[in-house]
Structure 1
């Protein structure tokens, strides 16, 4: 038998791009032709006209470039820790919460539980259970989103006047954002728990931890949170559900000042043990750092960039640079993930918290490729994490070179969620999240992955299109 060399015609394809049913890609691959499988979907239903209108907007390209540039110019510095009454002007009976606006009648179980615990913490009621009647009556109490006061709150996100908060500042502009201190995991207020151990911990944070941190941060000088976030991504954190390296770096920066503080050695040791044993402690610095950057991108006419994603346990809302403070909301979704102990899907509340501000900034679920160990906490696989980080680049405007991801050849984190790209591709932002029990008082039941309701992006696009037509 003699071998023959067969020459393919010069017009033979060297590779084929396949869109749609995978059977066609498989058939081509079986003929020894390289195939590039392209995930493509038609635009979201009903968005074609609005996409065309916004695409033709002469402001859009430059507006998005400006919004991203403003975001990337921000340097978030931790400059203080102080009570919410002092920083935000909160008075007795005033409470902040995560997500878009909501009233007590529609509040989810974990949000109700956190408000009940906060009311007892503030002395409005002796027993948290008695707070239900207080909030139902609406007498001498008010609810307001954290975002409306330049703040963010994880999970239920409840903030009351006596709670101490981190203060983040951009030195170039003097703008500030705020977030409460992190309580740890399990039965904690932000997950809707309000038992005696929860209130005891909150009182210790008010009387010991908050003042100690306030004194230490003031003495240590500003801590560069933006730089820590960049280092975290190279040390296995993604800054939403994994903050181990960030917590240790924060401790490194303020530990000397904590030791030199006026507090007793016993109190300092207790604070070290609490912070060192709480891998999520830095989350409450990462969140306001992200908000500080994203707030700089607000109010750019024509920009289609998302500047906030937030959930209150009932509604999921987004805000967009080109539409001001308007919320676009839909039903919060149930996360798909891993559960603690005997808990299961029937025990979980729909998604809740302002912590999706991390994904809005390009980290968290967008940067899971930097933190493969996160899949052991929220579910999925390492290849899923890599694929997610790559996929998020399809719906973002640019990248943040200060936050490089090693496994993606040090490409910057995907930055600037684009409403038009989401509507055009059908790809929804990926969020990794904790799961709160749907019954008030239960606390955390698991962690997992979730996306926003698809309907909110066409709604935002429609408003962008309306404004574009009005300008024309």
Structure 2
């Protein structure tokens, strides 16, 4: 067939890329198919080269990802008790505070984190006034370290101090542990940077009455299967990050009889149950370390490109990848886009904050929004968007969780195992649904919404993985 013959026949056109060509042909009534194509990694030569370099060891990368995903999938976290941070958390020294997110110094901390640091110093009795506490923190009198580097996690500011009580989470499959403080509730709380007398009084009560009571109750159990509870949560309308109503209710049903059986004063039992019942987010501080314990089991697998942690400190976003172990890849944290409480504006919001994105890293939170369509009333959007986000996340993950399933997707497993290669190649970032903290210490939560990590974190991780070859 000659070129003249080609133009004498009816054309059927396939257009790749720029949609204006498709639109022109469509207006002329010609049959045309639009292919939504863009170059890998947005055409960035450095990223394309890194992808190609990893492709040269594809078999090793696939073997590494298969092993990391297997460890993550087989991990089984249990709540086994409560103890004191200094006695349990490895590497937590005196006059040391753990915080959310990647490493950060006092000079670069945001308002909520600084406020929480001041509150923790007052709680520990290292200073007697906020002014003295700030001087201690700014002069090098306190050592700061990411909770993630000590097998721990914390919501929002994420502060853990030596005498705070922490949940003990044991991954019984692989033997590793994870820790997290107890959830304080909403309003003016330490994790949002509040450090008033009421905040410190609540923390003392939690350490002196709530934690010992829960410890006695848990000693009567054989451990609480958190993975099983989290699977049930998804079938009851939770996604494990911003919505924990069902998880808290399920925990309440288990812990209430144990508290009643324990050798405790009736008034102690009443106060403990009332506190848990009044706090829909109580289970968040259990789902987070459960996810941490599962993901830590996959850390350090050679050649694996799967993400094992995503976290933020209100200034920077950081992630870790299985194949690069404990190394951090960071970039400035983004602002959360969503719904603000009455009386607040976008200027009041702090950049993204907290260790709670460990839930998304494990296939929950924004990845499981299809299981919790009601969450969009809190973070903005529509129920159909919740479905769309969950579907989209399958494009950037290695596999599906066989235990965490979504009824609205015909019980399909949640998208699990974020693959750095897929994120960069496709230009699709993980979606995180989260709370919005006020930029000033102590004001508290001012809204909730959706946020994406900075692409630079994934690009840095991809380059590092390629350099290891």
SS in 2 for 1:290: helix
- Please give the residue correspondences for 1:391-430 in structure 2 after superposition, counting only pairs within 5 Å: 391-430=392-431
SS in 2 for 1:227: helix
Alpha-carbon distance in structure 1 between the residues aligned to 2:231 and 2:220: 24
Is the alpha carbon distance of 1:215 and 1:16 closer, same or farther for their aligned partners in structure 2, counting shifts above 3 Å? farther
Offset at residue 221 of structure 1 (A) = 2.1
Aligned match of 1:112 in 94, 111, 114? Answer: 114
Q: Structure 1-normalised TM-score? A: 0.92
Offset at residue 230 of structure 1 (A) = 0.7
Match of 1:127 in 2: 129
CA RMSD of aligned residues (A): 2.2
- Please give the residue correspondences for 1:73-152 in structure 2 after superposition, counting only pairs within 5 Å: 73-88=74-89, 90-139=92-141, 141-152=142-153
Offset at residue 23 of structure 1 (A) = 7.8
Match of 1:170 in 2: 171
Is the alpha carbon distance of 1:67 and 1:224 closer, same or farther for their aligned partners in structure 2, counting shifts above 3 Å? same
CA deviation profile, 1:277-322 (whole Å, cap 9, x unmatched): 1111101110111111111111111110000001111110000011
Match of 1:388 in 2: 389
CA deviation profile, 1:51-77 (whole Å, cap 9, x unmatched): 111122131111111110110010111
Q: Are positions 1:54 and 2:54 aligned together? A: yes
CA contact (8 A) 1:18 1:25 kept: no
CA contact (8 A) 1:74 1:170 kept: yes
CA contact (8 A) 1:92 1:122 kept: no
Alpha-carbon distance in structure 2 between the residues aligned to 1:405 and 1:29: 42
Offset at residue 21 of structure 1 (A) = 2.5
Offset at residue 390 of structure 1 (A) = 0.5
| Stretch moving more, 191-200 or 236-245 | 191-200
Match of 2:347 in 1: 346
Alpha-carbon distance in structure 1 between the residues aligned to 2:20 and 2:378: 32
Offset at residue 175 of structure 1 (A) = 1.2
Offset at residue 156 of structure 1 (A) = 0.5
Q: Structure 2-normalised TM-score? A: 0.93
CA deviation profile, 1:81-115 (whole Å, cap 9, x unmatched): 11112212644311100011111111111110000
Alpha-carbon distance in structure 1 between the residues aligned to 2:272 and 2:175: 30
Aligned match of 1:24 in 9, 22, 25? Answer: 22
CA contact (8 A) 1:333 1:450 kept: yes
Unpaired stretches in structure 1, ≥5 consecutive residues: 1-10
CA contact (8 A) 1:188 1:194 kept: yes
Is the alpha carbon distance of 1:270 and 1:104 closer, same or farther for their aligned partners in structure 2, counting shifts above 3 Å? same
Alpha-carbon distance in structure 1 between the residues aligned to 2:167 and 2:32: 53
Is the alpha carbon distance of 1:304 and 1:411 closer, same or farther for their aligned partners in structure 2, counting shifts above 3 Å? same
Q: Are positions 1:360 and 2:358 aligned together? A: no
